[in-house]
């Protein structure tokens, strides 16, 4: 390792931004396992059944070589039906899928207008794209409209692409999807919606916040499988020509070993769970509402209205210290610092999942209120 690497790590440590891997301990307030499916009996049973019928663990190659498995195709067929899209394509992860979308689909001469708080995976894809990329103000459909209008006015003649999340991962706020759809229609633009934190949690049968837009010719959606669905992978839902283009041009698809067929079977089982039983979603909704009320009453923090609740601290070191105080009391909650969030907005990212009950959540809020007071003092 070079001296420059040492200096960079030292600088991160001085600013309270040095990241380390930590073992799981304490009650889960950090994961994206919103419905508590990751270790549930139903998925365990589904995996055992898949193994018993001979489903392989590894794919052995890319989908375009010998890695294509009947379980991949069965999942894609079922996902297309479940979400109401024309077709689906399964990737090994949501990050890979998002990167593939933006590095592959927009072409030279096109414009990608992206929400300024969009996922890092979209940024990585845009860096690899030949299209121009410009930011729009967060959750501001008028800003998206203005960026496209200005681009057209300056001579832009290619395809416009609008990139947003339906539910944002650090603030838990929702995108104005219907307004964005109107902007897309007005400019003949493609609307790409990352449903990572909404899949399984919102919409009829857990179809997400953009379920009413699925199947439109100018809509592409990404549904990750490693959050509320409790497994792993990413599903791109799109018109069939888009799927075919990704298969032929997306390097992250062509050159990657195919996802585990066993995981594809597990994702199908997860889709069946969220489609056939609303109980978990209802329980989570009740817990989120109760958490918001108690958080407001005991700390004065405004509820986000979703299962993702930011606790804004400000400084990096203070956020790390607050997280450590809560971990010491048995609550696994993590500090999020720049560049993941804007400068001066380091925070605790509190996620409400069915891995904690109402009493445990109440205990956490009591501990949070006390720890914040001690940190200020």
Q: How far apart are CA 345 and CA 332, in angstroms?
A: 20
In CATH, what number does 55-276 get?
Answer: 3.40.640.10
pTM, two decimal places: 0.94
Q: Which fold has domain 23-37+278-376?
A: 3.90.1150
Please give the chain's pLDDT, 377 residues, in tens: 688 898 998 988 888 888 888 888 899 999 999 999 999 999 999 999 999 999 999 999 999 999 999 999 999 999 999 999 999 999 999 999 999 999 999 999 999 999 999 999 999 999 999 999 999 999 999 999 999 999 999 999 999 999 999 999 999 999 999 999 999 999 999 999 999 999 999 999 999 999 999 999 999 999 999 999 999 999 999 999 999 999 999 999 999 999 999 999 999 999 999 999 899 999 999 999 999 999 999 999 999 999 999 999 999 999 999 999 999 999 999 999 999 999 999 999 999 999 999 999 999 999 999 999 988 75
List, as one string, the DSSP characters of 112-158.
Answer: EEEETT--HHHHHHHHH-SSEEEEE-TT-HHHHHHHHHHHHHTT--S
- DSSP string across 160-179: EEEEEESB-TTT-PBP-HHH
Strand partners, 311: 348
3 state DSSP class of 236 = strand
Q: Where are the domains of the chain?
A: 23-37+278-376, 55-276
**In the block, residue with structure tokens 């923090």:** 301
Active site residues: 32, 119, 165, 169, 194, 197, 227
DSSP assignment of 268-336, as one string?
Answer: HHHHHHHHH--HHHHHHHHHHHHHHHHHHHHH-PPP-SSSEEEEEEESHHHHHHHHHHHHHTTEE-EEE
Q: What is the dihedral of CA 177, 123, 248, 69, to 10 degrees?
A: -80
């Amino acid at each position: 390792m070079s001296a420059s690497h040492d200096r960079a790590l030292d600088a991160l440590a001085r600013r309270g931004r040095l990241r380390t891997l930590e073992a799981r301990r304490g009650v889960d307030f950090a994961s994206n396992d919103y419905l508590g499916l990751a270790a549930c009996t139903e998925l365990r049973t589904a995996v055992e059944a898949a193994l018993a019928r001979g489903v392989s663990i590894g794919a052995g190659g890319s989908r375009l070589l010998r890695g294509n498995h009947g379980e991949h195709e069965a999942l894609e067929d079922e996902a297309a039906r479940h979400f109401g899209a024309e077709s689906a394509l399964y990737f090994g992860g949501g990050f890979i899928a998002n990167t593939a979308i933006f590095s592959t689909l927009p072409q030279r001469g096109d414009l990608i207008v992206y929400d300024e708080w969009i996922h890092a995976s979209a940024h990585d894809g845009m860096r690899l794209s030949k299209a121009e990329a410009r930011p729009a103000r967060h959750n501001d459909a008028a800003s998206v409209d203005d960026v496209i209008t200005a681009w057209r006015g300056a001579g832009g003649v290619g395809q416009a692409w609008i990139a947003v999340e339906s539910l944002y991962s650090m603030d838990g706020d929702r995108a104005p999807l219907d307004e964005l759809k109107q902007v897309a229609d007005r400019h003949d633009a493609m609307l790409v919606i990352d449903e990572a934190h909404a899949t399984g949690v919102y919409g009829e049968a857990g179809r997400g916040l953009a379920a009413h837009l699925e199947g439109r010719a100018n809509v592409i959606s990404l549904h990750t499988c490693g959050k509320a669905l409790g497994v792993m992978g990413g599903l791109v839902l799109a018109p069939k020509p888009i799927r075919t283009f990704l298969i032929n041009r997306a390097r992250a698809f062509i050159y990657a070993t195919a996802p585990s067929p066993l995981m594809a079977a597990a994702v199908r089982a997860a889709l069946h769970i969220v489609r056939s039983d609303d109980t978990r979603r209802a329980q989570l909704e009740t817990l989120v509402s109760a958490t918001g009320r108690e958080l407001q009453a005991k700390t004065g923090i405004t509820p986000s209205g979703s299962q993702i609740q930011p606790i804004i601290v400000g400084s990096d070191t203070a956020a790390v210290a607050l997280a450590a105080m809560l971990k010491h009391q048995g609550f696994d909650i993590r500090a999020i610092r720049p560049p993941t969030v804007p400068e001066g907005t380091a925070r605790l990212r509190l996620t409400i999942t069915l891995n904690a009950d109402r009493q445990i959540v109440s205990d956490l809020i009591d501990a949070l209120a006390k720890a914040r007071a001690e940190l200020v003092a």
